[in-house]
Amino acid sequence: MRDVAVIGIGMTKWGELWEKSLRDIYVETALMAIEDAGVDHIDSMYIGSMSSGIFVGQEHIASLLADYLGTSPVPSARVETACASGGLALRMGFMEVASGMNDIVLVSGIEKMTDVGGDKATYALGTAADQEYECYHGVTFPGLYALMAVDHMNKYGTTRKQLAEVAVKNHRNGSKNPLAQFPFEVTVDAVLNSVQVADPLRILDCSPITDGAAAAIICPVDMAQKFRDHPVVKILGSGQATDSIALSQRNDISWLESTYRAGKGAYEMAGKKPSDMDLFEVHDCFTIAELCVMEALGMVEKGKSGEAVEKGRTAVNGDIPVNPSGGLKSKGHPVGATGIAQVLEIVKQLRGEAGERQVKDARTGLTQNMGGSGASTVVHIFERD
């Protein structure tokens, strides 16, 4: 198996992009990655997208986007595993390059979510839950994560303030990210007094509806220096796992088994452990999600994540920096693109290009991209040569 490197990244500012179509957003972003890599062709492309058919009425986007990017007839495939679709696109491209099937692969994610009303967006996102046993009975994702939060609070003494501290920290980081949808700081009081969505979660505990794309170019490590003179960022490990789609079918609703399993696989492949990571980009679709992910990835002991955030350990200058990009909470969450945007942040950090939010001396990083209430997870580990 060949070693694989990320040699190009691209992302435009996320938000409510009314003036751009799905294809416009995608092409602009993919061209940025191609330019950053310095390649003159690609051999293959993967596109992560959760619900383009519902959000913009367009399926068959693998061919559509290859056509508008001008890369036809190269093979192009759309992949989907709910909000972890971007992470899966990277994993599929990684396997293709590592196997020797192709050399230069474009991996990307795209979602345009604001072309529909809030009710239809809620329906589209709800398709990642169990339709018969959850959605039919009126459960939404804020409701599911609220159940996880209540369970975590009852078991471990996690406080409402500790949940708010996750949002405060991520918005602080996002305020230094010019590509973030909501690049401003919030206070604990603002979070606690924002509109209640599903007790105990408030609107400032929730990631937003977002339009956006992200893209990366990967190739074999031994080819990486033939292009731009960037520091080489290698993909050391890749892990993927699933769990029951319905929260009620799990033994412990505040434990993310798929994240634990995917992380275990990635750590073993990379020959690394959690303490070897200099930073983490994780799936904070809700503030409680970040806390549960921290525990499943072995960053802290079970039940200790809220305390770690409150003490500042997950800040950019802490000992376990989490979501220096601002995370889904501040940066935004165009569901199919999130997993690739996490890669972009890790690559920037390992190259030393993250500006005010730079983690000091960063050499290793991990991305964790999750679908639904944790029914699917993809984890990748990166290291700078």
Q: List residues with catalytic annotation.
A: 83, 333
Distance between CA atoms of 344 and 302, rounded to whole angstroms? 29
Q: Shortest CA distance to 250 belongs to which of 153, 147, 160?
A: 147
In the numeric block, the tokens 């909501």 are attached to 182
The C-alpha atoms of residue 133 and residue 289 are separated, in whole angstroms, by: 22
Q: Inter-axis angle of helices 85-99 and 338-351, to 10 degrees?
A: 60
Strand runs (DSSP E) across the chain, as ranges? Answer: 4-11, 44-48, 76-79, 105-112, 196-198, 201-202, 211-220, 233-242, 279-281, 364-371, 376-384
Residue 34 carries which DSSP code? H
- Percent helix, strand and coil across the chain, each to the nearest 5: 40, 20, 40
The SS3 call for residue 353 is coil
CA-to-CA distance for 139 and 23, rounded, in angstroms? 32
The whole-angstrom separation of Cα 99 and Cα 17 is 38
Sign of the four-CA dihedral 312, 340, 329, 379? negative
Q: Could you tell me which of 372, 298, 370 has the C-alpha nearest to residue 327?
A: 370
The H or E element containing residue 150 is helix 141-156
